[in-house]
Structure 1
Amino acid sequence: MSQRMGLVVFLSILLTVWGCSQNKQNAASDFSSEALSSKTDVAFNMALDSAKLYFGLGDTLAGATLGLSHGDSLSLFNAYLKSMTGENRLSEEENELLYGSRDPFTVTVTHLLNQKAGLAWSSFSHTGVPVPVFAKGVGAEDFNGYYDNTDIPKKIIKLAGLNNPSQRAVKYMFLFIGDGMAIAQINASEAFLGTDSLRNQKAKYLGSLNMTSFAAAGMANTQAANRFITGSAAAATALATGHKTSIGTIAKTADHSENLKTIAEMAHETGMKVGIISSVSIDHATPACFYAHENERGNYNNIAAQMALSGFDYFAGGFAKGYFQHYRDKDPEGDGKDIVKEMQNAGYQIVSTKVALQATPKGKKCWAYTSYDKDAALYYNIDEDKSARTISLAEFTSEGIRLLNQPNGFFMMVEGGKIDWACHANDAVCAVREVAEFDKAIGEAIKFYESHKKETLIVVTGDHECGGLTLGFAGTGYNSTFQILNHQKISFEEFGEKVASWKKAKGDMATGYEK
């Protein structure tokens, strides 16, 4: 009996070894540019050349860390096949876990570079971790500690005396919101800025950010009224009004029965100037929550039309999605408005160049935007061929200070919105560069503070974390090589457009592939 059992075990092992050998041979035969090029118009080795050119992957002359293992190449192969044909050897569950709803080849390229640097992601979506709060100026110490995000505007309202002007301690208020930004995004940015090839360096591992130099620091919870993991509309409503609301709601109660007064509206009512700035469209969830009230964040035309009704003094950054015909047609009341005409009729000077913005006189209400992408947002900073032609977030902030500065004071909200978008795509390099751009805008507020120390408060926070970014990857042990991140030359978005062009050259062959 024991001899028979031993024979069965031996045969089982032999069959397993033979099967593994056959699988390896099949994988090797499948893993070839010839096999792939029969299905696609661009050979796989050409795709690898692009990954090397734009991300440094496979460029061992630039650093051994950038070399591609067989496992790396197999991951790229599966992702490329999915991008080109909609099919690969993975299950749909595996594809969803690896790529989310993004372009598979682009996601895999950015993931590999991130991992080789010692960074990793756990999600393509928001997470529920607390966000940091930094404060500088009058009453900054009130922002130390651990509290809810609804407490942030309440503290500002109290210090600015918006409910009781006789108790006003702060005349100039800045609220900076990094969308999708938590401690990991900030720390990764400092690590990136501390690399040898960048000049913003003060220590061996960490570069310098304005926000982390603030003496007061706290942490805030971010949960929405009806979900633990918040969304930008619910989070921005909390930061704008001091009240929780439901997912997708713009500055209204969770049941949509009442409008919630925003800190910007309160400041406006007391005679302060008000400015709303964002690197994404000016009618996107975060900026919208400071001037609009809407049941659904996707009603862009309705939201954008409320800029003119607000009477606020300065809107700047991205264009308005609500102006696009698609969103006019989707207007729930069926009366889609021409947002540009609405703003002109309300007395706003509309400018789209740096020269025109700088020439705008004080006292004139202004809507300033710059060159924008298909979503009416500023281009990613890393895409220098596009971003170099635009007005930067820091410049919008600087000009806003000039236009808003007056004896009664002002309130300014500035959002770094594309941090979140980069994190949704798991593009660490793009994200940290957006954090750095956001931080430059904070620098403009600090310059103003230096001349108005007894009357100014600057608060910096995030609305939620995005992507589950971690500093540390099991594949590298405890080693980090942040300097290799400098090999990435373009954003995930621009690289994804290149991948899409390869696929288009062959025709739409995909089945079940969502860009």
Structure 2
Amino acid sequence: MRKVILYGIFWFCFGPLQAQNKADLGELFHELMFGNKPLKTGNLHGHSHNDYKQDIPFLSAYYSGMESIEADVFLKDGELYVAHEESEITANRTLTSLYLEPLYARFVANGYRPFADSTKKLQLVIDIKENYQVVIPALIRQLKPYMEMIDGKKQQQVVRIVLSGDMPKPDHYQDYPDFISFDGRPGVFYRPDQLKRIAMISNSMDAYTHWNGKGILPETDRKEMEAVVQAAKQMGKPFRFWATPDSKNTWIVLEKLGVIWINTDHPLLLNEWLTHLPYNRFRLTTPLSIYQPTYASDGKNRVAKNVILLIGDGMGSGQVKAALSVNHGQLNLSQMRYMGFSRTESANAGNTDSGAGASAIATGQSTNNESISVDTAGKPLLRLTDILAKKGKKNGLLSTGDLTDATPAAFYAANIDRSASEAIAQDLLQSPIAFIGGTQPGFFHDSQKRRSYFQQLRAKGFSVLEDVMQINTQKKIALFLPDSVTRPVKEGRGNVLQRMVSESIVRLKSPNGFFLMAEGAQIDYGGHANDLPYVITETLDFDQAVGEALRFADQDGNTLVIVTADHETGGLSLLDVDEQQGYVEGNFSTNDHTNLMVPVLAYGPGAEKFIGIYKNTALFDKILTAVGVKDE
């Protein structure tokens, strides 16, 4: 597999999740669902427009990480009041009480800097509504008690005071103290000494376009806006549009125009978007190669001898489209012509977990979440692997996750508690599995339990291995890979799943055929973590295993390949896609499973049976029908 070269659009500087080093599955799940991630906003900054209209002025924007906060002011009876219209003036809403005092208190508490995070800066934009000639002197008087907060001669990290609205002409900037900066305007010539006093260049978006933030910015408007932003950049100044629609689509477009200050009336929402950008964006510089099928056996109305079922845990259509886009419009999955959708409800909930989802496929019956291959009363159910073994077929199970986790376990174990790892592992000893490979279960961290279990496996005829390269026997194989080998792709895992698929096929081939289930487990992990680079790199890795299965299906001519998921994780939607650049920006609606239907793709003899929309339990019957065990 060609090396995946990835990087975030701005920062992509993650603290490694180290998901695979968790000794207990519950601990891993809790970390992915609720653990904190290092969040960065990079080169974009938030401007809280008309901040005084917030339910909690200043504090909402400040604790949302806005690095520019705007207050409109009027001078009345010697006091500066914050209001948009003079008629809105109230006695308790002064610039000092709403902004200067709370800002100074935090400045001191942070060790004489605007934020506790020393990398963040802050500017207070004071929009003078009228009569700057009298307002500015009054403002300077009110700022005097806070000079250590605003005067760069006294502190290294200060709050920058920026005047906007009714302002003096550039020729008069020199009449005011150096700690006063100004909000510049496009098309105005500034001498070098005047330019030093300009904090940013701003203008209303309405001056260039009537675009409402939906769909595509008209090309003529885009060029005009881009030109004005670039003109400011040439002066060494950041640009801000005000009167902008407040939406993620708008923010994405503004960023592409080169805007640095993102204007918003909703600082909480903007902060959420800004801080999660490293986890919502991905670019693939070098696309992975894909296999081009021959289609010689595809859709042939005959019984399949072998079945390779590939389950992308947590992989919905959003995950597939994201991977397709970053791989420049090509996937092994996209070569498969027979497609359907699986509904993923469990017996006791609209949203299934992996236990009930995999059990539905493995047994053809709905069960409760948290259970594996038992009915709703806890009674063990007959599994695909049991039925196919009686027909003389060999069975194999593969995963990039814990081999006692729900998806692989549903095909060899039965338990009302999917987290009962040790009990589930005991069921493997009695199962008809001939090849199993994946990550070591958590209880292996207890060396005594690990040695004891290996002895039990060997007594059942298994060759117990810990390295794919050790596979050199035709005996039953239990391949337990260490955490370091099955860490996330974005942390360096190689093509482990693809290699295991290749090696297991060689060992499973028999006169009566075989059934192989291979799981891309960590697509789900990335969904729980709301980490798009994690999701996409795992989906691409899974797709390489799909390519390996398609390649064998063409060589063999009697193999049915099925690709699906047990459920979707994360509620992934795509906000921005560029296939030519191999770039995607997404958005997660949850850190849990959703009720979204998942794709089912099929290739080979019997592939046509998987067209349509059906319950996840239907996959069981369709597979048995495809191999001639059941009539339709």
Work out which of the two has the higher radius of gyration on C-alpha atoms and give 1 or 2.
Answer: 2
% identity of equivalent residues:
24
Asked if structure 2 preserves the Cα contact closer than 8 Å seen for 1:348 and 1:367, the reply is yes
Q: Match for 1:183 among 317, 321, 334?
A: 317
Q: Distance in 1 between matches of 2:106 and 2:280?
A: 23
Which residue does 1:272 correspond to in 2?
393
- State the structure with bigger RCO (CA 8 A, min sep 6), 1 or 2: 1
Q: Aligned runs of 1:478-489 on 2, under 5 Å?
A: 483=582
> Greater helix share, 1 or 2?
1
Letter in 2 for 1:320: P
Q: Which runs of 5+ in 2 are unaligned?
A: 1-82, 121-237, 239-253, 284-294, 586-632
Q: Distance in 2 between matches of 1:28 and 1:483?
A: 43
Q: Distance in 2 between matches of 1:20 and 1:112?
A: 33
Q: Distance in 1 between matches of 2:300 and 2:107?
A: 61
Which residue does 1:361 correspond to in 2?
473
Letter in 1 for 2:369: I
Asked if structure 2 preserves the Cα contact closer than 8 Å seen for 1:283 and 1:320, the reply is yes
- How far did 1:322 drift? 3.8
Q: Match for 1:211 among 315, 328, 333?
A: 333
Asked if structure 2 preserves the Cα contact closer than 8 Å seen for 1:241 and 1:260, the reply is yes
Q: Distance in 1 between matches of 2:408 and 2:416?
A: 15
Secondary structure of 1:298's aligned partner: coil
Which residue does 1:230 correspond to in 2?
352
Secondary structure of 2:554's aligned partner: helix
Q: Match for 2:464 among 342, 350, 355?
A: 350
Q: Distance in 2 between matches of 1:248 and 1:307?
A: 19
Which residue does 1:425 correspond to in 2?
529
Asked if structure 1 preserves the Cα contact closer than 8 Å seen for 2:385 and 2:432, the reply is no
Which residue does 1:382 correspond to in 2?
490
Deviations 1:52-101 (A, max 9, x none): xxxxxxxx9xx9659864789x989x99xxxxxxxxxxxxxxxxxx7xxx
Letter in 1 for 2:562: V
Letter in 2 for 1:467: G
* Greater mean deviation of Cα atoms: 23-32 or 214-223: 23-32
Deviations 1:330-373 (A, max 9, x none): xxxxxx9932222122121111223212xx222x0001132316
**TM-score (norm: length of structure 1):** 0.61
Aligned CA distance change for structure 1 residues 312 and 117 (closer, same or farther; 3 Å): closer
Q: Distance in 1 between matches of 2:111 and 2:262?
A: 17
Asked if structure 2 preserves the Cα contact closer than 8 Å seen for 1:116 and 1:481, the reply is no
Secondary structure of 1:279's aligned partner: strand
**TM-score (norm: length of structure 2):** 0.50
Aligned CA distance change for structure 1 residues 26 and 447 (closer, same or farther; 3 Å): farther
- Residue 416 in structure 1 maps to residue 528 in structure 2: no
Q: Distance in 2 between matches of 1:401 and 1:301?
A: 28
Aligned CA distance change for structure 1 residues 115 and 137 (closer, same or farther; 3 Å): same
Q: Distance in 2 between matches of 1:31 and 1:403?
A: 66
Aligned CA distance change for structure 1 residues 64 and 320 (closer, same or farther; 3 Å): same
Which residue does 2:574 correspond to in 1?
471
Which residue does 2:110 correspond to in 1?
35
Secondary structure of 1:280's aligned partner: strand
Q: Match for 2:366 among 230, 244, 249?
A: 244
Q: Distance in 1 between matches of 2:261 and 2:106?
A: 13
- How far did 1:15 drift? 3.6
Aligned CA distance change for structure 1 residues 347 and 227 (closer, same or farther; 3 Å): same
Q: Distance in 2 between matches of 1:15 and 1:244?
A: 63
Aligned CA distance change for structure 1 residues 300 and 45 (closer, same or farther; 3 Å): same
Q: Match for 2:88 among 9, 13, 17?
A: 13
- Residue 371 in structure 1 maps to residue 492 in structure 2: no
Asked if structure 2 preserves the Cα contact closer than 8 Å seen for 1:33 and 1:45, the reply is no
Give aligned pairs, total.
Answer: 360
- Residue 174 in structure 1 maps to residue 296 in structure 2: no
Secondary structure of 1:243's aligned partner: coil
Q: Distance in 1 between matches of 2:262 and 2:106?
A: 10
Aligned CA distance change for structure 1 residues 283 and 20 (closer, same or farther; 3 Å): farther
Asked if structure 1 preserves the Cα contact closer than 8 Å seen for 2:400 and 2:497, the reply is yes
Which residue does 1:90 correspond to in 2?
none
Letter in 2 for 1:411: F
Asked if structure 1 preserves the Cα contact closer than 8 Å seen for 2:578 and 2:584, the reply is no
Asked if structure 2 preserves the Cα contact closer than 8 Å seen for 1:36 and 1:44, the reply is no
Q: Distance in 2 between matches of 1:479 and 1:13?
A: 47
- How far did 1:485 drift? 6.2
Q: Distance in 2 between matches of 1:439 and 1:9?
A: 56
Deviations 1:412-468 (A, max 9, x none): 000001001101111111101100100111111111111222x21001001111111
Q: Distance in 1 between matches of 2:297 and 2:282?
A: 40
Deviations 1:22-55 (A, max 9, x none): 55557866887982899x9x95529xxxxxxxxx
> Greater strand share, 1 or 2?
2
Aligned CA distance change for structure 1 residues 464 and 402 (closer, same or farther; 3 Å): same
Q: Distance in 1 between matches of 2:477 and 2:332?
A: 28
Q: Distance in 2 between matches of 1:316 and 1:240?
A: 18
Aligned CA distance change for structure 1 residues 15 and 440 (closer, same or farther; 3 Å): same
Asked if structure 2 preserves the Cα contact closer than 8 Å seen for 1:137 and 1:456, the reply is no
- How far did 1:323 drift? 3.0
Q: Distance in 2 between matches of 1:25 and 1:31?
A: 10
Aligned CA distance change for structure 1 residues 409 and 35 (closer, same or farther; 3 Å): same
Q: Aligned runs of 1:41-440 on 2, under 5 Å?
A: 43-45=117-119, 65=256, 69=261, 109=275, 111-113=276-278, 140=299, 169-194=303-328, 206=329, 208-256=330-378, 258-325=379-446, 338-357=452-471, 360-362=472-474, 364-372=475-483, 378-384=486-492, 387-388=493-494, 392-440=496-544
Aligned CA distance change for structure 1 residues 294 and 17 (closer, same or farther; 3 Å): same
Aligned CA distance change for structure 1 residues 182 and 250 (closer, same or farther; 3 Å): same
Q: Distance in 2 between matches of 1:424 and 1:481?
A: 28
Asked if structure 2 preserves the Cα contact closer than 8 Å seen for 1:189 and 1:432, the reply is yes
Q: Which runs of 5+ in 1 are unaligned?
A: 1-7, 47-59, 80-97, 99-106, 119-135, 143-158, 160-168, 195-205, 329-335, 487-515
Q: Distance in 1 between matches of 2:96 and 2:581?
A: 38
- How far did 1:405 drift? 1.0
Q: Aligned runs of 1:484-495 on 2, under 5 Å?
A: none
Secondary structure of 1:439's aligned partner: helix
Which residue does 2:229 correspond to in 1?
none
Asked if structure 2 preserves the Cα contact closer than 8 Å seen for 1:185 and 1:431, the reply is yes
Which residue does 1:502 correspond to in 2?
none
Secondary structure of 2:389's aligned partner: helix
Asked if structure 2 preserves the Cα contact closer than 8 Å seen for 1:33 and 1:44, the reply is no
Asked if structure 2 preserves the Cα contact closer than 8 Å seen for 1:233 and 1:289, the reply is yes
Deviations 1:457-481 (A, max 9, x none): 00100111111110127xxxx9899
Q: Distance in 2 between matches of 1:266 and 1:68?
A: 62
Secondary structure of 1:460's aligned partner: strand
Asked if structure 1 preserves the Cα contact closer than 8 Å seen for 2:310 and 2:518, the reply is yes
Q: Distance in 1 between matches of 2:304 and 2:448?
A: 39
Q: What is the alpha-carbon root mean square deviation over aligned residues?
A: 4.3
Asked if structure 1 preserves the Cα contact closer than 8 Å seen for 2:308 and 2:517, the reply is yes
- How far did 1:483 drift? 4.8
Q: Distance in 2 between matches of 1:137 and 1:33?
A: 74
